[in-house]
Amino acid sequence: MGRTPLAAVAGLEVNYGYCSISVGEIHRLPYNIKARPELDNPDHILLCNIPEFMESDRERGLAQEIAGRLARISKVETCDHYPPIEKDDLPPPLP
């Protein structure tokens, strides 16, 4: 996650656009999730208190539930590669 669209896609080899979500909406979810800036890179945002996906079936289920809630409250800003690139350089479509 990032404070800006460019920060959100930084470090990704391929992206298919970006979404936006407010910190307030994240903090209002009933999971005690906190959005915090990374100490060495304040434009990169970390989600704290997310269950470990591989720990147990219960935690995996909770992690999937949280991911679904985050997806539902986020707003798609673009489904195009960001930053925009030439059409010939687009990544292949998802299978």
DSSP secondary structure of 20-34: E--HHHHHHSTT--E
Residue 76 lies in a domain: yes
Q: Kindly report, residue by residue over 43-76, the tens digit of the pLDDT.
A: 999 999 988 877 789 888 999 999 999 999 999 9
Give how many domains the chain has, as a whole number: 1
Residue 45 lies in a domain: yes
Cβ(28)–Cβ(20) under 8 Å? Answer: no
Q: Which residue has the tokens 């079936």?
A: 57
Residue range(s) defining the domain that contains residue 16: 5-88
Residue 80 lies in a domain: yes
At residue 39 the predicted structure's pLDDT band, cuts being 50, 70 and 90, is: very high
pTM of the predicted protein model: 0.76
The DSSP call for residue 12 is: -
Question: 66: helix, coil or strand?
Answer: helix
Both tokens of residue 15?
């992206």
Residue 94 lies in a domain: no
Residue 21 lies in a domain: yes
Residue 33 lies in a domain: yes
Residue 95 lies in a domain: no
